[in-house]
Amino acid sequence: MIVYGIPNCNTVKKARTWLEENGFNPEFHDFKKKGITAEKLNAWCDAFGWEAVLNKKGTTWKKLSSDVQQMVTDQKTAIEVLLQNNSAIKRPVVEVDGKPILISFNEDQYKAVFK
């Protein structure tokens, strides 16, 4: 299991805490330090939809120029922006055996998937 995110994000902290308290010991991938690939973003977009992977409620998205925001109209353009602004990725993303299974943190979803 790999949890992708950034360490100071409260949602990532909640997810990691929940996983650890429920007996999981996930690897953590800090995509601010280790980066993220277009292939990985495509896999996440295929699993969740690009609209779910792109966090339009976050500060990073809101700080982008309206021109950049308006150019994001599909998965390809979303990934281009996310590669340049990886803090705009909805987080965390949880993968098991290389497959993305959860995005963000919702305790009921985590219970349904892991119990």
Rounded-to-10 torsion of CA 84, 29, 46, 24:
-160
Q: CA-CA distance, 66 to 23, in Å (whole number)?
A: 44
**Can you list the alpha helix ranges (DSSP code H) found in the chain?**
10-21, 38-48, 50-53, 59-63, 66-71, 75-84, 107-114
Assess whether 9 carries a catalytic annotation.
yes
CA angle 103/108/109 to nearest 5° reads 30
* Options 1, 2, 9, 64, the catalytic residue: 9
Catalytically active residues, by annotation: 9
